[in-house]
Structure 1
Amino acid sequence: MVSSLIRSKLVITRALDRHTVEIVEGGAVYQRDGVIVEIGDAGDLAARYPVDEVLGSPHHVVMPGFVNSHHHVGLTPLQLGAVDDALETWWISRLGKRKVDLYLDTLYSAFELVESGVTTVQHLHNRLGGTVEQMAAAANRVIDAYGAVGMRVSYSHSVRDQNRISYMADEEYIARLPDDVGALLGPVLRAQSIPLEDNIALFEALHDQHRNSERVRIQLAPSNLHWCSDKALELVRDCALRHQVPMHMHLLETVYQKEYAKQRSGGSPLRYLHDLGMLGPLMTIGHGVWFTEADIELAAETGTMICHNASSNLRLRDGIAPLNAFEAGGVKVAIGIDEAGINDDRDMLQEMRLVLNLHREPGMHDRVPTAGQVLRMATEHGAQTTPFGASIGTLEPGKAADMVLFDWRTIAYPYLDEEVPVLEAVLRRARSRDVDTVIVAGEPILRDGRFTRIDKKAVLHELASALAVPRDGDEQAQLDLARRLKPHAASFYDADPQHGCSCCRPFYHMNARQ
């Protein structure tokens, strides 16, 4: 047995509600074999439990490890040449990205996640292709990278079988293009075409392979309503129910997706999914920017969760999700950094701070996010969007010993009034530099700011060296295609549905023209 005592200035075990967090001052966490046994007074626990290792100190704040509930890639799209744009044309820019080794790429973002206190990530893998065996090998390159760092990962590949480039059938879209551009795009889209049965077979293979893994889970990701036929949605639904695994689905990210859903379903896409039997505690909606009041009521009624991706929504002109309405309606909300945060990195502390400040409606009322609420989003609620939900997200006996230790001395330096609540100080002031230790299943995977399992500097050097060479012929051809396709892609959206659209009556009154 391996045991340790994690000492602290105080232990923040969980958020009880918007305004109340559970705190043990002068506390410690005793864990054995990766599971929390007891939380209590540090002196008392030290006297009663002989341990193999003591971590932390009276200068540390201990909190549950964070969960990034929506993540895709390592090197950011901007690093790979896709400058921020409207989502629908930004997709086109991404066609021109470099080929990057999946293992090194995943390690790059894993470093940033762990350094900001993330212990669990939900990895949504886009654009797989090939045979089931080839896709499984690619998936395991990603999974192995998280294992090399020591993180938990809930992995899923994105299921899509239609409308890969826009909100219409691929063949119809290609027919609208000049012949020379369409001839280049066709093979690219066909290479991304995977038989629906192969999508399910891939899930089954990965799920069986990792069923006994402590830190790996496999779940399902129907990509989005416009990307999935009814047959695809039904197959994913049946698979999720059969294996009792969660689903994570992008939905209502932009107003164009809302218009598409109206045309396809005649109303709310959330109601459409409900009628297909897909809503409930197994479903998390990624984004949900354009939810209506009725959608929020339906999500709350069914126990459907939402993952709020604040940075991504701002960067890609999606809009601002009505977080305050979600909270008031009783919907559980998690936090995702998506492709990259507002600073083009994967800093969970920065993302939490953005969420805390983005939704501060003017006025003398309580319609603002609170520190307790944001902590719960980044921990307990995030955990519940993954198959790890019952074992992580809070610090309590019987749960996994996943936690992050902050150095209070650097957070409070050179001065911090003693009246400031500690959680407020952490969420508003802490940076990655203040993350001292990150523990997963009782194992310090980051200690004194250094990774314990892997040489970060060597990995980054290898990644930089691999990309220091010029683009090869295939990469250049993809870039040329993206450049030629983008003007035609933008013209598809000239009839902007936002002009005069009743669906755009906002939840927030943020300013005034007169």
Structure 2
Amino acid sequence: MLSETVIHARWIAPVDGRRRWLENHAVVIRQGRIVSILPSDEAARAHPDAERVDRPRHLVVPGFINAHTHAAMNLMRGVANDLPLMPWLQQHIWPLEARFMSRAFVADGTDLAMAEMIRGGTTCFNDMYFFPDVAAERVEAAGMRAAIGMILIDFPTVWAASADEYLDKGLEVHDRWRNHERLVTTFAPHAPYTVSDAPLAKMRTYADEMDVRVHMHIHETAFEVARAVQDNGQRPLARLDALGLLTPNLLAVHMTQLTEAEIARCAAAGVHVIHSPESNLKLASGLCPVQTLLDAGINVALGTDSAASNNDLDMIGEMRTAALIGKIAGDDAAAVSADTALEMATLAGAKALGIAADTGSIEIGKSADLCAVDLGAPETRPVFDPIAALVYSATRQQVTDTWVAGRALMRERRLTTLDLDALAARNNAWGDKLAAHGASNQENQRHAQ
């Protein structure tokens, strides 16, 4: 194996706040790190013995960071459609999880999700799901980067029987992976309506002591907010603020229902917002006021949510949707520009996860987490602005290569660490089981009527 790799590209978008893109440049990688960014002819002369990767029609960008996922739910893609959030959860998703959740389910679902993400240029994802120990093992095997959520819910599941057990098992996961170069952990309380005050207070103490992020669905729907006011007289954010959770460690997912005062409070507290536009649209949850949040100084990252509610993990598609609906939500065609969308999908995600010193932009010293997108296809020609072409015209099928820490996880559309044929066989078996369960439930309901 050569000690150096030099990736030559038609364009490089560093997302470094200084240059929009560089033309005919190369990224020099040594031991998984970016050691130089040079004009291609200079790089060729300076590194004649390095492995040379030529991508003459491509835009190279930082690997996408999917800042909100439930990876194993890829096995439930399409099981329930055209429903609002609570009926979708209560009548379909939670019953399936109660019936089928297992270590094998999470292993196979996570592998399927990672195959999809790598093929779309995603190098890192922030996960929230059962059996986080299994998810971490699958990430390690596949070579991706991830934030693994230490899930917390009030009610018992196959993963844990009580809030204390959720926390104890989560801490075990944290201790096992705490020094891993590609894995971090977060506390992952599901939502204000599924976690009560006492567990949240205990978790907050751990999070403060350990300086660990907290990843939580918050203000996802108007129903959630109204129900909270009805039940305890407080909007969810106010309750979380009273518990001391509004800090720079909070990753608030969705945030479609916000007042001016709440935006100001989140900005003052340093809260990060994770925007999942396609899931919000599909579940009719609402529109996150992205440009207003950005104007207030809030870091806004981008995530797909699960393939059960999206129904894909396509970060290029998510960027386009975020940019387009951001203009409607802000009543301004200049809102959520292509450059902003790309930053939300890369560096903003790294900042939210606390890993921006290591990834999220193409800069000397950072990990070589990259993807290459072929802009030479008819669908993206001519290219006047490669970033706009990526966000508004390209598709994930145009991603040809994905690298994490300099290692090619996909090379010219071929995965190197995951076997698609083996994955297909396992995923088809799960699909048959879930479909049979759904058919059986429908038959039982028919007889009951």
Is the pair's TM-score, using the shorter chain for normalization, greater than 0.5? yes
1:41-81 CA-partner distances (Å, limit 9, x unpaired): 12212222355422233322110000001101345476462
Whether the 8 Å contact between 1:341 and 1:351 is mirrored in structure 2 is: no
Mapping 1:425-464, distance limit 5 Å? 425-464=389-428
Question: Match for residue 423 of structure 1?
Answer: 387
Match of 2:31 among 30, 33, 58: 33
Unaligned runs of 5+ in 1: 129-137, 165-188, 488-514
| Selected match of 2:222 from 245, 252, 255 | 255
1:410 to 365, 377, 387: 377
Q: What value does the CA root-mean-square deviation take over the aligned residues?
A: 2.8
Structure-2 separation of matches of 1:346 and 1:426: 16
1:75-474 aligned within 5 A: 75-76=73-74, 79=77, 81-92=79-90, 93-97=92-96, 99=100, 101-125=105-129, 128=130, 138-161=131-154, 194-263=161-230, 266-340=233-307, 344-361=311-328, 365=332, 368-410=335-377, 415-416=381-382, 420-468=384-432
Question: Could you give the per-residue CA deviations for residues 422-442 of structure 1, whole angstroms, max 9, x where no partner exists?
Answer: 100111111122101001000
Q: Secondary structure at the match of 1:8?
A: strand
Q: Write the distance in 1 (CA, Å) between the matches of 2:76 and 2:306.
A: 10
SS in 2 for 1:213: coil
- Normalising to structure 1: TM-score of the pair? 0.79
Counterparts of 2:282 and 2:430, CA distance in 1: 28
* CA positional deviation for 1:201: 1.5
Contact 1:159 1:199 in 2 (8 A): yes
C-alpha displacement at 1:205, in angstroms?
1.0
The structure with the largest alpha-carbon Rg is: 1
State the shift of 1:340 in Å. Answer: 2.6
Paired with 2:168 and 2:107, the residues of 1 have a C-alpha distance of 23
Note the C-alpha offset of 1:379.
0.5
User: 1:275 Cα shift?
Assistant: 2.7
Task: Find the aligned partners of 2:48 and 2:240 in 1 and give their Cα distance.
Answer: 53
Identity between Structure 1 and Structure 2 (%)? 27
CA distance in 2, matches of 1:400, 1:251: 31
Following superposition, the deviation at residue 356 of structure 1 comes to 1.1
Deviations 1:271-300 (A, max 9, x none): 332232211211110000101111111111
What SS class does the counterpart of residue 21 from structure 2 fall into? strand
Q: State the match for 1:72 in structure 2.
A: 70
Separation of aligned partners in 2, 1:466 and 1:7: 41
Give the number of equivalent residue pairs.
440
Relative distance call for 1:314 and 1:36 in structure 2 (3 A) is same
Change (3 A) 1:411 1:354: farther
CA contact (8 A) 1:436 1:446 kept: yes
Question: When the two structures are superposed, what TM-score results if normalisation uses the length of structure 2?
Answer: 0.90
Say whether the 8 Å CA contact 2:279–2:310 is kept in structure 1: no
1:428-474 per-position Cα deviation (integer Å, ceiling 9, x unaligned): 111122101001000010000010122212211232135445878xx
- Structure 2 counterpart of 1:82, which letter? A
Q: 1:213 to 1:50 in 2, by over 3 A?
A: farther
* CA deviation after TM superposition for structure 1 residue 355, in Å: 0.7
Change (3 A) 1:400 1:268: same
Tell whether the 8 Å contact from 1:324 to 1:369 is kept in structure 2 after alignment: yes
Q: How has the CA–CA distance of structure 1 residues 343 and 233 changed in structure 2, closer, same or farther, with 3 Å as cutoff? A: closer
Partner of 1:4: 5
Closer, same or farther: CA 94–483 of 1 in aligned 2, 3 Å: farther
What SS does the corresponding residue of 1:9 show, helix, strand or coil?
strand
8 Å Cα contact 1:411-1:426 kept in structure 2 = no
Secondary structure in 2 aligned to 1:202?
helix
Q: CA deviation at 1:122?
A: 0.5
Do the aligned partners of 2:72 and 2:107 also contact (CA within 8 Å) in 1?
no
| In structure 1, C-alpha distance between the alignment counterparts of 2:86 and 2:231, rounded to whole Å | 18
1:15 to 1:357, Cα distance in 2 relative to 1, 3 A: farther
Report the CA distance between 1:15 and its aligned residue: 5.6
Query: 1:121 & 1:54 partners in 2: Cα distance?
Result: 28
